[in-house]
Amino acid sequence: MANLSLAEGYAEALLVLARARHETATVEAELRVISQLLKRDSRFLRALRDPEIPEDRRAERVAQALEEVAGELVTGHLVAMTQHGNGRLIGETIERYLDTVAAAADTITAEVHAVVPLDDNQRARLEQALTRRFGRPVRVQTFVDPSVLGGLLIRVGNELVDASVRARLVEVRKAMQRDVAGLAGLRG
């Protein structure tokens, strides 16, 4: 519980700084990208938690990893966390920040993975459809993900809507395996 309140404190401090600089939306977008980085790159996550790596070296790694995806405010905040021995809380801090911003706006955020970027019209239609489904305004955050193959993979909170070609192919493969097993049973 102490870690959660510490992560909340870091998130609140970042939100205060972002609001003061009028960069709330920019910080939110950068944190979403970093959140995806943490989910995809287990080496980065291990480096944040490895007690064998000194804090200053961990901080250097954080700065290097973020130089392409985050601005001065976010990078500085996450590097400072790491320098103070709290790099392991970066993921939780990001979650708290995003939750706080969404709650203040009374919106839900949907992570949408697609093989190509959505255009403005597709994004607007998807936001409308998801808003109807969830009964609250939904903001779509898109990520290009070649593994989807086609269609969409949508995560809203703990709910996952898998309308991807990859998922359909898995269903077809399972159906074919059942059919083959059924045919084998008829022969025997």
Question: What pLDDT digit, counting tens, does each position of 121-141 carry?
Answer: 898 899 899 888 888 888 888
Asked which of 51, 70, 102 is the last residue of a domain, the reply is 102
Contact between 150 and 182 under an 8 Å Cβ cutoff? The reply is no
Note whether 128 and 171 are same-domain residues: yes
Note whether 91 and 14 are same-domain residues: yes
Q: DSSP secondary-structure letter at 116?
A: S
Asked which of 36, 69, 102 is the last residue of a domain, the reply is 102
Residue type, 77: H
Distance CA 31, CA 66 (A): 10
Question: Tens of pLDDT along 9-47?
Answer: 999 999 999 999 999 889 998 998 888 888 777 677 777
Note whether 54 and 128 are same-domain residues: no
Note whether 26 and 117 are same-domain residues: no
Note whether 146 and 116 are same-domain residues: yes
Asked which of 43, 69, 102 is the last residue of a domain, the reply is 102
Note down the domain range covering 21: 2-102
pTM for the model: 0.61
- Please give the backbone phi and psi of residue 149, each rounded to the nearest 5 degrees, phi first: 75, -35
